[in-house]
A = this chain, B = another copy of it.
Amino acid sequence: SKTYKIAILPGDGTGPEVIREGIKIIETVAKKNDFKLDFTDYDLGGKRYLKTGEILPDSVTEEFKKFDAMYLGAIGHPDVKPGILERGILLKLRFELDQYINLRPVKLYPNVETPLKDKKPEDIDMIIVRENTEGLYTGAGGFLKKDTPQEVAIQESINTRFGVERCIRYAFKLTQNRAKNNKLTLCGKTNVLTYASDLWQRTFNAVAKEYLQLTSDYVNVDAACMWFVKNPEWFDVVVTDNLFGDIITDLAAIIQGGMGIAAGGNINPEGVSMFEPMGGSAPKYTGLNIINPIATINAGAMMLETIGESKAAKDIDNAVIKALGSGKIKSMSAGKMGLSTTEVGDLIASLI
């Protein structure tokens, strides 16, 4: 039977608690589906940085390339200045490992509460494909006359045809394989970003010609935020740049029930990919065994799907749906689940 090497990055705060349940679940489906998982732990994050001053050694990034996948809890520490860990670990991994797709399935599960009126599971079911290595995330830019009244701060969005096209091609392929409407919507701001969004639109239109059986669509990012709230059922697959993706995936997470359930993947289709819950390290809940592990469990399912174990991924998804359908989990919010973190993990494991 096959063995997959998985790098585990439990991280900070409640990261280790959710990753523990995630591992419980993927081990359960591995046994059932007759494959093996070989875990290696990596201690990265704020705690380690505060102790050793080390953020992410280059040698570690190199090591990750030898794994089949990476599984992350959460990175973030209240005593570390915002930006250091995000850029030093999360964004660095995306860039160095060329994880050029950020994949965010957005699905309202049965019994999960959305803050939107009158929306049912069939109304909220889309996938967002976010470019993950370019745009305003490159860090390009600079200051002129810093700290004077004449200061100018410039931030540059850099977009390449190469980077945009591989992302759009990924999105079209994904759309073709979806059951739903088979519609791909490009989200941009063409009426204002006359260079960046123009490249996106030209590339989108060119690739669309190879997928004439699919519906191709365009929406401005400001309008997209409105329709996500008012008519989420209009969307099937959405493709967008790095910053717009950051914004609309968080909005999408809240409409699908919040950080307790939203999972994402940083994907390099030709290399190693990393899977994570969308929530942060939630310092105030650390060690209390009350954080929701379902997002991490969903990320585990995405991971297995990506490494080729679709049946096992489906088993997790079915067990999550059954667990939610049982009504035993009262809320998606930390401390309000009616069950502990461990009990939610056990419940899902028992349904596999």
Min Cβ gap A163→B in Å is 9
Most buried by B among A82, A142, A191, A253: A191
User: In whole Å, how far is A317's beta carbon from the nearest beta carbon of chain B?
Assistant: 24
A254 at the interface (CB under 8 A from B): yes
Q: Taking the complex as formed, is A47 at the interface, i.e. its CB lies under 8 A from any CB of chain B?
A: no
> Besides A115-B230, A136-B192, A192-B243, 17 other CB < 8 A contacts?
A82-B191, A87-B191, A116-B117, A137-B192, A141-B157, A141-B193, A142-B195, A143-B195, A143-B199, A151-B160, A153-B158, A153-B198, A154-B156, A154-B157, A154-B159, A229-B229, A229-B254
With an 8 A cutoff between CB atoms, is A52 at the interface?
no
Q: Is the CB of B91 within 8 A of A192?
A: yes
Copies of this protein chain in the complex? 2
Q: A117-B115, A195-B155 are in contact. Are A229 and B255 (CB under 8 A)?
A: yes
- In the complex, whether A346 has a CB less than 8 A from a CB of chain B is no
A31 to chain B, nearest CB (A): 37
Chain A residues 117-162 with CB under 8 Å of chain B are: 117, 136-137, 139, 141-143, 147-162
A43 contacts partner chain B, Cβ-Cβ < 8 Å: no
Q: Could you give 16 example pairs across A and B, Cβ below 8 Å? A: A82-B191, A86-B192, A87-B192, A91-B192, A115-B116, A136-B192, A139-B194, A143-B195, A149-B161, A153-B160, A155-B157, A155-B159, A189-B246, A229-B254, A229-B255, A247-B247
